[in-house]
Amino acid sequence: CASGLSLLSRHVVGRDAIVQEGCGPAIVTFLEQETNIWTIRNSLSAFTNLLVDKGKHDKVLTRGGIDAVINLCSHSSQKIREACALAMFNFTRGEAHRDETVSASAVPALITLSRQLPESHTRMRCAATLCKFATVEKNVALMVETGVVPAFIDMLHTRDQDVVKHCC
């Protein structure tokens, strides 16, 4: 089921159908309760693809999906942690929920991901997501308290152009 939703979510018509049929809660249930690594990866893929369309955020995010992604940021699988960074990155395409996510412990999770995962594309996603969170003024104090400045400094040391751009 998760694999099918992942495949459908790769296309606009599939994403529309998933949202119209109310499959978001099922995907979130997979993210929260599943232990099979392939089911989790496919569920994250579907969820991430749904987040590409910022107009669908309200319908997709009603059941705690971002909290489930944040919890998966500490998963033992590197591939799942990388997928979480992409999901969070896609989430910040929409502005409406950025402040809610910061208060839901997204910043510490992203900081940890940026330090654990050496791939520049994952660090770039973490830096870009943190940057977008910082565009909401009320997020800034919490972000500073959680250690975002040292995290940006750590990411600057990668010297990767895209990572540096988002840190700056």
Write the pLDDT tens digit of every residue in 16-55: 999 889 888 899 999 999 999 999 999 999 999 988 887 7
What's the predicted TM-score (pTM) here? Answer: 0.88
Q: What is the pLDDT of residue 137?
A: 86
Q: What is the pLDDT of residue 101?
A: 66
- Closest by Cα among 137, 80, 134 to 107: 134
Cα torsion angle, 165, 104, 65, 97, sign: negative
Phi first, then psi: give them for residue 59, nearest 5 degrees.
-75, -30
Q: Which residues of 33-65 are buried (b: 16+ CB within 10 A; e: fewer)?
A: eeeeeebbbbbbbbbbbbbebeebbeebbebbb
Report the percentage of the chain scoring pLDDT > 90. 52
State in Å, rounded, how far the first CA of the chain is from the last one.
41
Q: What is the pLDDT of residue 168?
A: 86
Q: What is the pLDDT of residue 92?
A: 83
Please write the tens of the pLDDT for every residue from 84-137. 999 999 888 766 666 666 666 889 999 999 998 878 889 999 999 999 888 888
100 contact partners, CB below 8 Å, separation of at least 6: 66
Q: What is the pLDDT of residue 119?
A: 83
